[in-house]
Amino acid sequence: MSNHKTFTIGSRKSQLALVQTRQVQSALQLSYPDFEFPIISMTTVGDQILNKPLFQIGEKSLFTKELEVALQNKTVDLVVHSLKDLPTTLPDGMTIGAIMKRENPKDAVVIKKGLNFNSLDELPEGSVIGTSSVRRTAQLKKAFPNLVFQDIRGNLNTRLAKLDDPNGPYSALILAVAGLIRLNLNNRISQILPSSVILHAVGQGALAVECRTDDAQIIKIISVLEDKDTMLRCTAERSMLRTLEGGCSVPIGVHTDFIKSSDCKRKLKLIGLIARLDGSEIIQAEAVKEIDEDGIDAANELGKEVASTLVEKGATSILDELKNAKS
């Protein structure tokens, strides 16, 4: 390794993004006590446009573009992302150097302060649920047709303030369990929704560290952060999404699990779905693949297989409908 000992980390400016970036910074500092890892934070397009639902903005790299520009022009050496925000096709010269151990990837229900309810099925008919995700809305409309789903934007604390406003319309929010845990807001989780009700977003709960493909030193340094099982699960999920050509603002959900089969071989199971925006139709598919020692090719194939089955079942017409809704 060269004598270069300061490596700058790029991050979004939101509180959650900075907490996540500091998590990476601490892990690197622990492994490399002689190195320095200062953080530069910046605002992305997704942070600036708050008056439109995400799926209508029509930009796949909403929360990543500015960070990748900084990486490209060498203002920063590595960038920390919520993996669910990272497009499945990266710009030329960029790579994911590590995916860290995943936090709980499920979705949580957060009930308005002062309301004596603990779950969505306890809420009165017509209660307004806030979420910025078409994936959540589409699946939950199907499961809870008696509830009203409204778009809500802003960082996590802004959304919680809107929820708890006594004059605000919301009875509950749907948020990622991982974000609430990382901000020490576990006490606000009223219910964790099971995968039988809602499948989570591709990469949800995982942090990705992106760097330049030609930066061998950084690739070596951040390799200590990699969690193999998380990487394989997310590889399968992202392969499915890439094959369907969907972005983070498309109603596509996934669930992955390692399973032990009767022949004692390790296998990865992927369940995937795509839904119409109004929840009127949900197409689901699943597949299982044996995972060898390397596993990356098998994980990629698993994602493609599930995507192909979804297409056979009619996913293309849903994707076409989404494209028309954006234009």
56/52 Cα distance (integer angstroms): 7
Contact 269, 254 (CB under 8 A): no
Place of tokens 């076409």: 320
151/155 Cα distance (integer angstroms): 13
| Side-by-side strand order, sheet with 252-260 | 252-260, 266-275, 282-290
Can you state the percent helix, strand and coil of the chain, rounding each to 5? 40, 25, 40
Contact 84, 241 (CB under 8 A): no
Distance in Å from the first CA to the final CA of the chain: 50
- Sign of CA pseudo-dihedral 212, 240, 194, 259: negative
Catalytic residue among 77, 85, 107, 215: 85
267/285 Cα distance (integer angstroms): 17
Contact 153, 132 (CB under 8 A): yes
Q: What is the dihedral of CA 46, 51, 57, 59, to 10 degrees?
A: -10
32/134 Cα distance (integer angstroms): 41
Residue 284: name the closest of 322, 240, 239, 321 by CA: 240
Place of tokens 């990486």: 71
**β-strand partners of 207:** 82
Q: Specify whether 77 is catalytic.
A: no
Q: How far is CA 166 from CA 33, 115, 127, 160, 171, in A?
A: 48, 10, 14, 12, 10
Which residues are identified as catalytic? Answer: 85
